Amino acid sequence: MSSVTDSKMLRFANRVAVITGAGGGLGREYALLLASRGAAVIVNDLGGDTKGGGKSSAAADKVVQEIRDKGGRAVPNYDSVEDGEKIIETALKHFGRIDILVNNAGILRDRTIARTSDLDWDLVHRVHLRGSFLVSRAAWPHMKKQNFGRIIMTASAAGIYGNFGQTNYSAAKLGLAGMSNTLALEGRKYNIFCNTIAPVAISRMTEDIFPDEIKPLLKPVNVAPLVAYLCHEDSEETGDYLKSAVGSENVSMRFKVRWQRANGAVCLKSDQGITPESVRDNWEQITDFDESSNPSSVAESMTTILDSIRQAQSAPPPSGPPVTSDNPSDAVGHVLPTNNFEYTSRDVMLYNLGVGVSTQQSDYLKFLFELNQDFCVLPTFGVIPAFSALQSLLSGDVPGMNSINPARILHGEQFLEVVKPIPTSGTLRNEAVVTDVLDKKSGAVILMDINSYDENNDLILHNQFSTFAVGSGGFGGKRSSDKAVVTVKPPDRAPDASMSEKTSVDQAALYRLSGDYNPLHIDPSFAAMGGFGTPILHGLCSFGFSGRHVLKTFCDNDVSKFKAIKVRFSGVVLPGQTIQTDMWKEGNRIYFRSKVVETGKDCISGAYMDITEGSQLSQTSSSVGALKSDVVFTEIGKHLAADANLYKKVNGIIAYKITNGGSLAKTWTLDLKNPTGSVYEGNPKSAKADATVTIEDADFADIASGAKNAQSLFQSGKLKAAGNVMLLMKMGR
Ligand SMILES: CCCCCCC[C@@H](O)CC(=O)SCCNC(=O)CCNC(=O)[C@H](O)C(C)(C)COP(=O)(O)OP(=O)(O)OC[C@H]1O[C@@H](n2cnc3c(N)ncnc32)[C@H](O)[C@@H]1OP(=O)(O)O
């Protein structure tokens, strides 16, 4: 059949193609070319006229005969594209499958809008838009099942630019481009690719439109190679807007068409609100394409818009021209706008749920019930206030960040130090700076240090975020930084402990509600742009899981023992996968590493958690012992809260030390200036007590004897004994 002998020749052996409207013009050329390359072809043509009237089998039969005469395989089909199921059934009946669908059939009923009848409108839409939908829908389940499909939609320059007298046709044609982009998104994970072409060629439908002198340049035969390429399994193209082709005997041209969007202007609210005048006054900037972008999805388009709006809301109106540097190193030292992060106990509980706390766990109440006396913040929540400061990194105001593709930003590493206990609600002020930018060749690493302060200006949290911008390396920057908090290697022995937990398929959907709305974690099309087959889990969500594993195993969930944590995100986790954390204890440092059980690959490496000295005791004593002290403190706290007025004359902070076998077990502090009399656990070293009460071993042991866990202690009523401790303490005062 073909004279091309190159071994790299694109062949279609075992592929079955349906070409609609293949009785002549472009459709015929597609059918002939695909058949000559080995495809079995269904030549569909209703055999009507160009206005949609009449019916005949002659056109399809003729093309089928042409193919067979050359040794190819073809079967005719005479159904309307509105009978999409029947067309696809013909392919299945004769060849057992359907791999390629070229939606090519079309009619014209050109009129200016005033003269376009309902019928003119409807017929054009029924054939082009509805017909392409119906045949594609019929083919879809078969393509999905076999994990392969290539679909072509036929649009037109009239759809892109408009064309006099073609209201109905141009609307249908642009509609096909929209449909194609959506099928591309829905089909990607099944290896079903969909593209739209806008061919320029002479056919029955266009022979009256073009002047005679250029007609020889517009041969349908030259459009067919583009369609064949897009339908081949080697082509990775999908949903990339419109491709157009023009061809003559010796030359032909093909190009992509894409949407371009001006950077636009953010219209700020004046005393009169956001007014039509603010649009008028910004018109030049709104329509200025000197600075522009080419968003290729709703997600990408929305991300930049939202970033601009957020930025405009938190920053004063820009005084100078936008920053345009493309060298990421130029960002070093840039101070991001200070921002406040306000949160409530609801945010804390939402976060805790997002990182896997469940009512199935024994001590869930302190993490999921705001009225529980021990209600507390998981220490890894400490990244959440700081995260809110990161958003402005890609706002366009940070030098060097223009070249960073937001769809390809991954979380690289994270360091968090909890300097003072994290309140269960409040407002923290973030101060963020771009500390360093590293050139890792395969990507750029952006280090950002963020300090979070409470309303008294006390430093509560220190974070160092390290983001890995994939594909943005090679700008000639340095490779390492002495300002980076380094990762560590675990000891060279079997882990001291391991814990594994399955994440939920909805884990990312839940975690994002804590403030990281990156579409990468929820929107398949955005994930696809980043090179992922499916949305991935937030790095900080896996971080929360691993952090909980360490906290549970070595601190018995006592959050006060947490000091600092460092991790590297070395691999991707998908929602629904199982995270296993292997841990090694060396003094007050717990080395750990997490892997995805289903793949065996590491997702967190080089990691450690530093804990305070107190934790050693809970480590060396049995877990029942650790639980006892928790129960005692719970009860003491309850009494102190209730009887706070007894201590009013102290009017300061009382620290309570519990000793166990002569060692310090735990220190609690009570702030009597706090009108609610709430009790919190404090760091023994930093507790500035106005008075100290020490509870001796005997009482401690008595109270907890026979108790297996906090729940049973509460239920058994043994906690009443804690009243004695209170009495003792009061006497001690
Ligand atoms: C403005 C908004 C900010 C938003 C912040 C975050 C938003 C979040 O929503 C995003 C997320 O949560 S993404 C999910 C979590 N992260 C991940 O899944 C990333 C997993 N890691 C990877 O894929 C690769 O390690 C990868 C791709 C990171 C690197 O792989 P490779 O390119 O193959 O690198 P490799 O060849 O192994 O090493 C090259 C050099 O890079 C260093 N490096 C490797 N992994 C790193 C990482 N994770 N972080 C930092 N540096 C890393 C290597 O050490 C090496 O450098 P050198 O040779 O100098 O040692």
Choose which residue among 447, 569, 572, 605 to substitute to test ligand 1 binding: the one with the highest number of ligand atoms within 8 A of its C-beta: 569
Q: Say what the pLDDT of residue 373 is.
A: 84
Structure tokens, 183? 């099928």
DSSP conformation class of 519: G
Does residue 64 contact residue 43 with C-beta atoms inside 8 Å?
yes
Query: Among 26-35, 393-402, 681-690, where is mean pLDDT lowest?
Result: 681-690
Question: Does an H or E element contain 566, and which?
Answer: strand 562-569
What are the phi and psi torsion angles at 388 (to 5°)?
Answer: -65, -20
Query: Among 391-400, 442-451, 485-494, where is mean pLDDT lowest?
Result: 391-400
Tell me, using a 6 A CB cutoff, whether residue 413 lines ligand 1: yes
CA dist., res. 85 & res. 75, Å (int) = 16
Burial of 569 from C-beta contacts in 10 A (0-12 / 13-18 / 19+): buried
Nearest CA to ligand 1 atom 24: 570
Distance 305 CA to ligand 1 centre (A): 26
Residue of 696, 688, 700 whose CA lies nearest to 650:
688
Tell me, using a 6 A CB cutoff, whether residue 539 lines ligand 1: yes
Q: Say what the pLDDT of residue 232 is.
A: 96
Which ligand 1 atom lies nearest to the CA of residue 516? 9
Q: Say what the pLDDT of residue 303 is.
A: 62
Q: Say what the pLDDT of residue 1 is.
A: 46
Nearest CA to ligand 1 atom 7: 411
Tell me, using a 6 A CB cutoff, whether residue 495 lines ligand 1: no
Which ligand 1 atom lies nearest to the CA of residue 518? 9
Q: How far is CA 729 from the centre of its chain?
A: 53
Nearest CA to ligand 1 atom 26: 570
Q: Is the model more confident about 560 or about 373?
A: 560
Distance 411 CA to ligand 1 centre (A): 6
CA dist., res. 221 & res. 263, Å (int) = 40
CA dist., res. 719 & res. 710, Å (int) = 10
Q: Is the model more confident about 206 or about 364?
A: 364
SS3 content of the chain, % helix, strand, coil (to 5): 40, 25, 40
Q: Is the model more confident about 310 or about 111?
A: 111
Tell me, using a 6 A CB cutoff, whether residue 411 lines ligand 1: yes
Give the pLDDT band of residue 57 (cuts 50, 70, 90).
confident
Query: Among 175-189, 325-339, 357-371, where is mean pLDDT lowest?
Result: 325-339
Residue 707 has pLDDT above 60, yes or no: no
Write down the H helix ranges in 426-584.
Answer: 507-511, 524-529, 539-555
Tell me, using a 6 A CB cutoff, whether residue 567 lines ligand 1: no
Tell me, using a 6 A CB cutoff, whether residue 445 lines ligand 1: yes
Q: Say what the pLDDT of residue 31 is.
A: 98
DSSP conformation class of 163: -
Q: Say what the pLDDT of residue 87 is.
A: 98
Q: What strand order describes the sheet that includes 663-671?
A: 679-681, 663-671, 653-660, 691-695
Distance 197 CA to ligand 1 centre (A): 38
Q: Say what the pLDDT of residue 628 is.
A: 34
CA dist., res. 614 & res. 560, Å (int) = 9
Torsion on CA atoms 450, 455, 457, 460, rounded to nearest 10: -50
pLDDT for 562-585, tens place per residue? 999 999 999 999 999 999 999 999
Tell me, using a 6 A CB cutoff, whether residue 303 lines ligand 1: no
Residue 64 has pLDDT above 50, yes or no: yes
Tell me, using a 6 A CB cutoff, whether residue 442 lines ligand 1: yes
CA dist., res. 551 & res. 708, Å (int) = 20
229 as an active site residue: the answer is no
Tell me, using a 6 A CB cutoff, whether residue 410 lines ligand 1: yes
Choose which residue among 440, 593, 605 to substitute to test ligand 1 binding: the one with the highest number of ligand atoms within 8 A of its C-beta: 440
Residue of 540, 496, 479 whose CA lies nearest to 329:
479
Give the pLDDT band of residue 489 (cuts 50, 70, 90).
very high
Give the pLDDT band of residue 629 (cuts 50, 70, 90).
very low
Residue of 337, 349, 326 whose CA lies nearest to 404:
326
pLDDT mean across residues, the chain: 80
Residue 415 has pLDDT above 80, yes or no: yes
Which residues make Cβ contacts (< 8 Å) with residue 274, sequence separation at least 6? 267, 268
pLDDT for 518-527, tens place per residue? 989 999 888 8
Which ligand 1 atom lies nearest to the CA of residue 442? 32
Which residues make Cβ contacts (< 8 Å) with residue 634, sequence separation at least 6? 373, 374, 710
Which ligand 1 atom lies nearest to the CA of residue 540? 12
pLDDT for 9-40, tens place per residue? 999 999 999 999 999 999 999 999 999 999 99
Tell me, using a 6 A CB cutoff, whether residue 479 lines ligand 1: yes
Burial of 396 from C-beta contacts in 10 A (0-12 / 13-18 / 19+): middle
Nearest CA to ligand 1 atom 54: 440
Q: Say what the pLDDT of residue 167 is.
A: 95
Distance 531 CA to ligand 1 centre (A): 14
CA dist., res. 546 & res. 569, Å (int) = 11
Distance 270 CA to ligand 1 centre (A): 43
Mean pLDDT of 463-491: 93
Each residue of 181-204: b (16+ CB within 10 Å) or e? bebbbbbbebebbbbbbbbbbbbb
Query: Among 95-109, 510-524, 553-567, 660-674, where is mean pLDDT lowest?
Result: 660-674
Q: Whole-angstrom distance between the N-terminal and C-terminal Cα of the chain?
A: 103
pLDDT for 215-263, tens place per residue? 666 777 878 998 999 999 999 888 866 666 555 556 666 777 777 888 7
Percentage of the chain exceeding pLDDT 70: 73
Active-site choice (30, 169, 343, 591)? 169
Tell me, using a 6 A CB cutoff, whether residue 526 lines ligand 1: no
Rg (C-alpha) for the chain, rounded Å, is 34
Distance 409 CA to ligand 1 centre (A): 9
Distance 542 CA to ligand 1 centre (A): 14
Tell me, using a 6 A CB cutoff, whether residue 299 lines ligand 1: no
Residues β-bridged to residue 499: 581
Domains and CATH numbers, the chain: 16-257 (3.40.50.720), 261-305 (1.10.287.4290), 328-611 (3.10.129.10), 628-731 (3.30.1050.10)
Mean pLDDT of 694-709: 32
pTM of the model: 0.52
Distance 348 CA to ligand 1 centre (A): 28
Q: What strand order describes the sheet that includes 497-502?
A: 339-343, 426-439, 443-453, 459-470, 409-418, 562-569, 601-611, 589-596, 578-586, 497-502
ipTM metric: 0.97
Structure tokens, 371? 């009225």
253: left (phi over 0), alpha (psi -120 to 50) or beta: beta
Nearest CA to ligand 1 atom 58: 440
Tell me, using a 6 A CB cutoff, whether residue 508 lines ligand 1: no
CA dist., res. 697 & res. 665, Å (int) = 10
Which ligand 1 atom lies nearest to the CA of residue 392? 1
Which ligand 1 atom lies nearest to the CA of residue 391? 1
Q: Say what the pLDDT of residue 280 is.
A: 81
Residue 315 has pLDDT above 50, yes or no: yes
Residue 727 has pLDDT above 60, yes or no: no
Q: Is the dihedral of CA 25, 28, 33, 39 positive or negative?
A: positive
Burial of 482 from C-beta contacts in 10 A (0-12 / 13-18 / 19+): exposed
Q: Say what the pLDDT of residue 728 is.
A: 24
Q: How many CA atoms lie within 13 A of 170 on its CB side?
A: 16
Choose which residue among 442, 488, 542 to substitute to test ligand 1 binding: the one with the highest number of ligand atoms within 8 A of its C-beta: 442
Distance 569 CA to ligand 1 centre (A): 6
Mean pLDDT of 142-160: 93
Tell me, using a 6 A CB cutoff, whether residue 672 lines ligand 1: no
Nearest CA to ligand 1 atom 9: 518
Q: Is the model more confident about 254 or about 460?
A: 460
